[in-house]
Amino acid sequence: MENPTVEDVADWGEELITRRFASTAYEVYELESIELANGESALTRTYLTAIDKPVSSRYTEIYIAREHDGLMIQMGAVENKYDSVEAVFEHLIESFTLIASE
C-alpha cells in the first residue's frame, strides 16, 4: 500500500476475514477508533468465527496505517478463553510504538 489511510488497512483486514472464514459462519463487529501510545490513530475490530460450531473463536485486530504500508496486529483465542488473554493483548497495544517505515 502506498500512503494508505487507516480505513484502507481496515478494509484490507475485512477482505482477509471474508476469505479466511468463507466456509464457516462468522460475525464481525463494528470498527472502533483507538489511540496508540505514541498518539497515532488506529482502528480495532472484534469478530467471532465458527459460531455455528460447538467451539467458536474470538479475534481482535488492530489496523494501523503508515506512510508506505499498513499493519494488522491480531489476537485470537477460543471464545471461552478469550477473557483470560485479552488483558495481555491490551497491554501490548497500549505500549505499542511505531518505528518509521521505509
pTM above 0.85, yes or no: yes
Q: Is a pLDDT exceeding 70 seen at residue 102?
A: no
Q: Does residue 99 fall inside a structural domain?
A: no
> Looking at the 3D structure of the chain, how many domains does it have?
1
Instruction: Take residue 40 and report the three cell numbers written for it.
Output: 497515532
CA angle 18, 51, 27 (to 5 degrees): 45
How many whole angstroms separate alpha carbon 96 and alpha carbon 25?
Answer: 32
Q: Which residues contact 15 (CB under 8 A, 6 or more apart)?
A: none
Q: Which domain holds residue 36?
A: 6-94
CA angle 5, 47, 12 (to 5 degrees): 30
Question: How many percent of the chain have pLDDT more than 90?
Answer: 63
- State the CATH number of the domain containing residue 19: 3.40.1000.10
Give the residue among 46, 50, 38 at the shortest CA–CA distance from 99.
Answer: 38
How many whole angstroms separate alpha carbon 80 and alpha carbon 56?
Answer: 8
The string of pLDDT tens digits covering residues 17-49 is 999 998 889 999 999 999 888 788 999 999 999
pLDDT-derived band at 100 (thresholds 50, 70, 90) equals low
